[in-house]
Every structure is written in C-alpha cells, then in structure tokens.
Amino acid sequence: MVDKVLVAGAGLAGCEAAWQLAQRGVPVTLLEMKPERMTPAHSSEHFAELVCSNSLRSDQMENAVGLLKEELRLMRSLILRCADEHRVEAGGALAVDREGFSRAVTAAVKSHPLIETKTGEVTEIPPEGPVIIATGPLTTQTLSEAIRAFFGGAEYLNFYDAAAPLVTFESIDMDRAYFASRYGRGGADYINCPMSEEEYEVFHRELSAAQEAKVHGFEDRKVFEGCMPVEVMARRGRDTLRYGPLKPVGLPDPKTGRDPYAVVQLRRDNAAGSIYNLVGFQTHLTFPEQRRVFSMIPALHSAQIVRYGVMHRNTYLDSPRLLNHRYEARREPRVRFAGQLTGVEGYVESTASGLAAGIEAARSILQMPPLDLPRETATGALARYISDETVTHFQPMNVNFGIMAPLEERVRGKKEKNLALSRRALEIIREKISGDETAPAF
C-alpha cells in the first residue's frame, strides 16, 4: 500500500503538490477550508484563487520568472497548463482570465481519481503520515500556533510586516560606491553609496512626495506602527534620514577622505554576495515609485531590483533554519511545507515550491532517489535559497538570476547572459525529466 498524503491548502502550491503526487500514483487528501471559512483576502470558492493581480509576470526567457515558468511547463505543471489555456493578452507577460483559470484548476483536481478533496480547516500537524502544509501567508492563528509548537517555539515563525528592496551586486555602480563598515569596525561588510548635499536634496524631496501603495482590505494597518517606512521618516524633516539610516558619520569616502553628506548602506543578503539589501529602506511606496526614487541614489542609478520593498501582514517560516532543499522539515522529513509559507514570493514561485515538494514527496514514498534539482535551475535555486543556512536575515524572495549558480564562462551583455543561464537551466531540466520514470503525462 502506498501512503496517502494529506495536503493542507488548495492554493497554487497545494493544488500543484497534490497533482504531482497523484500523477505519480500516490493518493492524496486535499483539505481546503473554503468556502466553509474564508480569509479576508479570498472571495471565490474555487481552488488556486488569484487574490491580487491576474498576471504571472514576464514570459520572456531573459527574465528569471520566464525561465521558471518554462521549467514548470517541462515538468508538466498543472498550474502552468491551466494558465496557458486561459491566457489573456498582456504583451510579454503571462496574464490569465482569473475566473476561468481557477475553475480549470479546481475541475482538474476534483476530477482526478487519486485526489480526494475535503472541506475543513487544518488545526494541527498530524502526528503520523506524510503531509504537505501549503496554507499560505494568511495561515489561520490556530494552525500558526500548531506549526510554532511543531518547531519548538515562537521564535520559529516570523510575522513580517516590512522588507527593504534587494538589488543585484552587478547592477551597482561601484565607481560611485565603496566597501566599508562604520568606523572601520570588523570587515568591510557594507557597500556605501554616498550622496552630496545637492543629490540628497533632490532625493529627499522626491521621496517625501512619492506615491504610496494602497492598503488592501486583508492587510493590517497596525503593521506601520512598529516599523516606520523610509518615506514617512523623510517627511518628518529634512535631516531625519541623515540622523537615521542615511547617517554618514564614520564612513569616509576613500576618494575624498571625508564623510559624505549622506550615505545609503547596502548589506549582503546571500553568501554568494550577488544580492544586497538597502538597509533601513522598508517602504510602502508603489513599485514604479521605488524604481524612480531609489534610482536617484547615484550608485543605484541602474540598479536591478530583484525584490521590491513591501509592508503587509504575512506569515512565513524561518526556512533556512527549519527546511531543507526538498521542502522537508529538518526535524521530521515526513512533514513538508510549500508555497508562500516557506518564504517564496509570487504566484509562479509558490507553484514551483508545490511542484518540487510534491515530486520529492512522491519519490520518497515510492522509495526512489530524490530529484534534487540543482542551483543551476530556477526551481532548484529557489529551493536552495529558502534552505540556505548562510542567509542570516531571511525574508521572502522572488525568483531572480542572482540566486542561481553563475555561468562558468563569461558572457557579455545582461540579456545574453540571462539567456545563457536559461539555456543551461532548461538543458538540466530536460536531462532530469528524461531519466524520471515517474514523470506523468497529461
């Protein structure tokens, strides 16, 4: 007898995980609390509801999320199949008919002979048997407490309300920046982006007047009380930032030997040093405004933002400490997590985590070796980012080329380099699935 897997949550990740398991002959119980109980973010009774945008973002291969979608297509993702079938015109992006897409996913899952769907809330992690928890960023308080207890204490669950933007190292103009730590203490751990008085004046003026994003109904306005957005700080006075996150004291510019007028500091966000965090730049500005205003920092005039600053209610695991790259709980591998609860950010990324968790769970149950997608692939890079114990300030992440293994050869031009990364990744995926006798056909 093959173990039956409980999948909690019928969002993108949960539906994908259930599908991958069932297509490999592993029976599934998919438990979803809708419509018996709805979160403030949801309005439809259907599975895989897209609660924000109807866009799955770029479909171009020089974009990391475009690569990720192509990997998912190759690995026979249900979510991508339904998205492609319900595509609407959106230029180079994959956007879908929201209702048609959700209905299609729901119909496919409910009609699968090996998937039993039930309505109900998961309130605890079952003491026995394989399980995948994919209950999303608005996981109920009851289940949150159960997850917290499972991992041994409150410190293992984060409730993040603010995250600063992340930029790639290669897009920082290092002719206008320098490595240093304040007062020379420790190593030169920060990239410092100096600003003259004139540059700061323009930046401060535009930041103070920039447009903020709307607060959605399912977000808690109180999150702003404990963590002040950088734009709010700017509005409190001309020099507030210069006495706060842009404090220049103790950071002399090696070109002049003097402290600049203001300094934006960037902190390394991963062990490879390919991604940096804008220190103190938690923000609620719209994404276009973040691009516009933060590019006024001289060293960041051409910065590639791989994750925008956000401020909203969210629940996610401290995954680098708790999960491995197969989305298994390190302390008890029969329990897996998938979706935004693991710290992946975005529709496609959630889908990828569900697919990987489902495939790896099926292979474990069928007593087969793990698939173990490498960091050279977008799917594997996401799994290895959320399980990377060297990431000390873990926050949710969209897929990006910065978390993937670099090319061995040098390729000129950003587009050409990204296309080379994509070609390499797809070759690996094709090789992996060609040797995967469990890979299902539609």
Q: Is 39 left (phi over 0), alpha (psi -120 to 50) or beta?
A: beta
Contact 423, 294 (CB under 8 A): no
CA 54 to chain centre: 17
Q: Which two tokens stand for residue 432?
A: 């992996």
Nearest to 105 by CA among 83, 90, 135: 83
How far is residue 336's CA from residue 138's CA, in Å, rounded to a whole number? 18
The answer on whether 441 is annotated among ligand-binding residues is no
Q: How far apart are CA 312 and CA 41, in angstroms?
A: 12
Is 153 marked as a binding-site residue? no
Q: What is the distance between the alpha carbons of residues 263 and 246, in angstroms, rounded to a whole number?
A: 5
Q: How far is CA 421 from CA 49, 349, 397, 404, 428, in A?
A: 31, 18, 19, 8, 11
Cβ–Cβ under 8 Å, residues 325 and 387: yes
13 is in an annotated binding site: yes
Is 11 annotated to bind a ligand? Reply is yes
65 within 8 A of 42, measured Cβ to Cβ? no
**Which residue type does 18 have?**
A
Q: Count CB neighbours of 228 within 10 A.
A: 16
Token pair 């003097």 in the structure block, residue: 258
Q: Is 14 annotated as a binding residue?
A: yes
180 belongs to an annotated ligand binding site = no
* Residue 426, C-beta contacts closer than 8 angstroms, at least 6 positions apart: 67, 70, 71, 74
Residue positions forming the annotated binding site for FAD = 9-14
Residue positions forming the annotated binding site = 9-14
